[in-house]
Amino acid sequence: MKVMAAVLQNRDSARPYHETRPLVIEELELDGPGNHEVLVEIKAAGLCHSDLSVIDGNRPRPLPMALGHEAAGIVKTVGAGVTDLAPGDHVVTVFVPSCGHCGPCAEGRPALCEPAAVANNAGTLIDGGHRLHRADGTPINHHLGVSAFADHAVVSRNSLVKVDRSLPFQHAALFGCAVLTGVGAAINSADIRPGQTVAVIGLGGVGLNSVLGALVAGAGQVIAVDLDDDKLAMAKSLGASEGFNPSDPECRDKIKALTSGGVDCAIEMAGSEKALELAYQITRRGGITVTGGLAHPDRKVSIQQVSLVAEERTLKGSYVGSCVPVRDVARYVSLFRQGRLPVDRLLSDTLTLDQINEGFERLAAGKAIRQVILFDTN
């Protein structure tokens, strides 16, 4: 079938993106679903820094590539072997299509699925194939097994989680990445306990979800840190107790003074080595520093090695919020319905597909939290 999709041809476009237009809307050929695959009509797709990092080269991926990974839609048809989804089901996409059989999957850590990592880096579906092509047969690479900036997508069954049909698509989309990654980092990776002090550095869509996750976990004090004062204000309106701008040379010392030596847990979501170093510096003796920010592969951090031992510190990575999507999406949607996880407040704008470059310029400029492309919702 023919689909309209946003394709990145090269990664040398300068900003502003609304002028250079790195993403081109193209008509592509989409093959039907193969074994254990599903054709989804995309209804909403979020703009995420994981997409932006492909555009700006921070996450090198094979090109040309149809971007997009955080989405919600409706099942249209299912391939052979898919027995637990049917046409008409509403689903959200997950950007690690776990195989269920490798070592990490067997340990209950699907975010670290080994075949999925190979496929995502190669720009294929988990079986190693492509379903998107140009009219001349040129294959178009898939972004994280999804390629959601399109009106339809064929994905692995394991890239989908079924959700209730009453959940609005623009909200449902956020649960596939921003919510799983941000809330999961607080609840799963950091294992925040009631009464603990928590700092979140980097207040984009994922970081603000970490603020919400820390509050749901019962943190006694949540400190927000960002270079943008408007985002600090947003974090405080969501329940953060304090906000600090790291451009203040005394930022670190002020946080340590406020928390009597440092926070129990610091979560870094800025994707910056400087932000991670600050997160580590404001973590107390015996505390945990969690990072879910994806910096360029060449970036390195500098920490005092002896502090890991003498202060029994923990420095931990978090990917997809250490989530088990089939378990955690349902949990987080339930919290949203209870009003305890107001992720809808993080929705900055809704866009059409042809406004995608303008949206990524706003994201790159730090002027948006979560923008969602809405397709025909009839």
Confidence at residue 207, expressed as pLDDT on a 0 to 100 scale: 98
Domain-wise residue ranges, the chain: 2-176+342-374, 182-319
Which regions of the chain does DSSP assign to beta strands (E)? 2-8, 23-30, 37-47, 65-66, 70-78, 90-93, 132-133, 139-142, 152-156, 160-163, 197-201, 221-225, 242-244, 263-268, 283-291, 314-317, 347-351, 370-374
What pLDDT is stored for residue 12 in this prediction? 79
Q: Are 58 and 296 within 8 A, CB to CB?
A: yes
Question: What pLDDT, on a 0 to 100 scale, did the predictor assign at position 11?
Answer: 85
Q: Report the distance separating Cα 28 and Cα 7, nearest Å.
A: 10
Domain 2-176+342-374 has CATH 3.90.180.10: yes
Burial of 40 (0-12, 13-18, 19+ CB in 10 A): buried
Q: Which residue type does 16 have?
A: P
Give, to the nearest 10 degrees, the angle between helix 205-216 and helix 229-238. Answer: 30
On the 0-12 / 13-18 / 19+ scale of CB atoms within 10 A, 279 is buried
pLDDT digits (tens, 9 = 90+) for 41-59: 999 999 999 999 999 998 8
Domain 182-319 fold: Rossmann fold (3.40.50)
Does pTM surpass 0.85?
yes
Q: What is the pLDDT of residue 221?
A: 98
- In one letter, which amino acid is 98? S
Show the low-confidence residues of the chain (pLDDT under 70).
377-378
Look at strands 132-133 and 139-142 and give their pairing. Answer: antiparallel
In tens, the pLDDT along 65-80 reads 999 999 999 999 999 9
List alpha helices for the chain, DSSP H.
17-20, 49-55, 103-106, 114-122, 169-172, 178-184, 205-216, 229-238, 251-258, 273-281, 305-310, 325-337, 356-364
The pLDDT assigned to 297 comes to 87
How is residue 14 annotated by DSSP? P
**Distance between alpha carbon 331 and the CA centroid of its chain, in Å?**
17
